[in-house]
Amino acid sequence: MEQLIVLLPALPLFSALFIHVLSSQLGRRVADLSVATAVLAFIVAAVLLGLALKGNDASQVAIGGTWGVLLADPLSTLMGVLIAGISLIVRIYSVRYMVEEKGYGRFFMLLDLMTATLLIMVAAGDLLTLLVAWHLIGVLLYFLLGFDTRSQTASRYAFWTLITYRIGDLALVLAAGLLFHAYGTWTLSEIFAQITENPGAHNYFGFALEELVGTLLAFAAFARSAQFFLHTWLPYTMDGPTPVSALMHAGIVNAGGFLINRFAPVFVQTDSVLHLLFVVGLVTAIIGSVLMLTQNDIKKALGYSTMGQMGFMIMECGVGAFSLAIYHLIAHGLFKGTLFLGAGAVINEARAHDGVPKDDLYTFVVERRPAKVRQPWLVMAGMTLAVPIIILFIAHWLVAQNYFQQQGAIVLLFFGWVTGAQLLFTAYRMDTQNVWRLVGTVVFSFAVIVLGYALISHAFDLFLYSDPEFRSQIYVAAGIDVFWFDVLVVLTTVVIVAGWVLTYYSEQNVLISQKKIGQIWLGFYALVSREFYIIDIYAWLTRTLLNAAARLNVLLRWR
């Protein structure tokens, strides 16, 4: 395994080198070289994953002694297959997509360098290698997003991305410095062993080392995974080439979830940091999903969709479901990469004709026409409450008997219950000739999603964290007092049910008039369409800082 883990990032590195040296001689054939090495890299990654699935012990190789350590463990092999697979698809797509662009060879060279750097990052077994790879990803992404040097917008937001990444990089550098100062080594395995053996042995500034380092790592993950207040770079980087958007949304932006999983031995010794992850992820998931609904640009809508999904991924880490976050980022990466690569075809098709049939679903969702004949309220309300709960009990019973003792699983499946309940509530409002067939489809889809999600995530849990004691420690660290946990669940349930009741009676003009509802929605839409004024706040801060710098220059008479 040691030879294969070195060969994996070496293949795209050699490809980038050959393209740089022989670009003028190869011409358009540089794409063939890049694709061929990508195929080989994917095969190597698949072999490594197969060896890990067979139960081979984790191994590592050090290229430079205390630095350049590459680790072959379940997490690195799994992420390696994802990165190699997505980069291969992106290269194949780029062969024709970028053929008329200037700098054809330079583009494939940058893709190869990005792939190699990502593979080194996920396999890094020491802090120095991780820091170098983490930093280079931001630099290479800057060049890829600003590939079209004639576009001022692309250059502007590529620089915006670089600055945001540098903010997160600073936190990661500080965390690495604290760990080295405390344990005297850069090697992650040695650091984790000392933390596990003697947790809480070091304190800085009145805080436990694990809490302080965990907070810095969380901030680095927030910047890389576009969490709220550090998210503005993500939806505005759509002027870059479409293959770059696919690679960024399918792989690069997921790095926050990987970072948290890589430092799981640190986070398992914390509690408040995991609660911070949950809160930030929850806010990001809600805001990203809401902003996605108001976009008229398909790529920007996909950007905010990614923001929402990354928030959900961070929230999963916050409830202790670390392995579930890895499954989420893999599923999201494949799904979102496909959407970006197909966005151009969708836009071209929509310009010719919308192709949307005017059926009941279209009338309800797009034209917002309520159903003329509705099903009995008590029947639909009962199904709304009963069906999702029954399915969640079945999911618990099939996966593990002790799942109800894990707050993280309850939180995640509670969100599943809310989703299923909303689907059934929507079914009540829709007009359909065969309501039972509609409800049956909704129930079946919900059951497949919940059961599949639970079973697959449990399999990921066993693969990534084979030690059951360590898995239980993660959930314990993410837990809160049972009383307050029950209070939060009850309050959330009351708010959701109250929202459904208000929606129902408002449509009957009992509690509030339709005119008043329209005014409220118009004000809310204005707020959302301005993206909660976050961009305006950043613009004001930029102008303020530039004006202050100009006045300082005048005051000090700097030239």
Helix (H, G, I), strand (E, B) or coil at 52: helix
- Which secondary-structure segment (H or E) carries 505? helix 482-507
pLDDT of residue 272: 86
Helix (H, G, I), strand (E, B) or coil at 466: coil
Sign of the torsion formed by the C-alpha atoms of 429, 431, 437 and 442: negative
Cα 222 to the center of its chain, rounded Å: 10
- pLDDT tens digits, the chain, 559 residues: what are they? 778 899 999 999 999 999 988 877 877 888 899 999 999 999 999 999 999 988 888 888 888 777 788 999 999 999 999 999 999 999 999 988 888 888 888 999 999 999 999 999 999 999 999 999 999 999 999 999 888 878 888 888 888 888 889 989 999 999 999 999 999 999 999 999 999 888 888 888 888 899 999 999 999 999 999 898 888 888 888 777 888 888 888 888 989 999 999 999 999 988 789 989 988 998 898 888 888 877 777 778 888 888 988 998 898 888 888 888 898 889 888 888 888 888 767 666 666 665 655 555 455 445 545 555 555 555 555 665 666 566 556 655 655 545 444 556 566 666 655 655 555 555 555 555 566 666 666 667 666 666 666 677 778 888 988 888 888 888 888 877 666 666 766 776 676 666 666 666 655 555 555 666 667 777 777 788 888 888 888 888 888 988 898 888 888 876 5
Q: What are phi and psi of 366, to 5 degrees?
A: -85, -50
Q: Please calculate the CA angle 402-403-406 and round it to the nearest 5 degrees.
A: 105
* Residue 544, phi-psi category: left (phi > 0), alpha (psi -120 to 50), beta (remainder): alpha
**Do 137 and 117 touch, CB atoms closer than 8 A?**
yes
- The DSSP line for 398-412 is HH-TTGGG-HHHHHH
User: How far is the first Cα of the chain from the last one, in angstroms, to the nearest whole number?
Assistant: 58
The residues, ordered by sequence, that sit 6+ positions from 68 with a Cβ below 8 Å of its Cβ are 62, 126, 128, 129
Amino acid at 226: A
Give the span between the Cα atoms of 72 and 22, in whole angstroms.
32
Q: What are phi and psi of 493, to 5 degrees?
A: -65, -45
- The DSSP line for 430-442 is S--S-HHHHHHHH
- Which secondary-structure segment (H or E) carries 70? strand 69-72
Strand partners, 53: none
pLDDT of residue 191: 93
pTM of the model: 0.84
Give the span between the Cα atoms of 521 and 370, in whole angstroms.
17
pLDDT of residue 372: 52
Nearest of 86, 105, 95 to residue 41 by alpha carbon: 86
pLDDT of residue 404: 47
From residue 524, give the alpha-carbon distance in Å to each of 229, 291, 378, 397, 509: 20, 11, 31, 42, 20
Place of tokens 């849990």: 461
From residue 183, give the alpha-carbon distance in Å to each of 87, 193, 198, 411, 443: 37, 10, 11, 36, 53
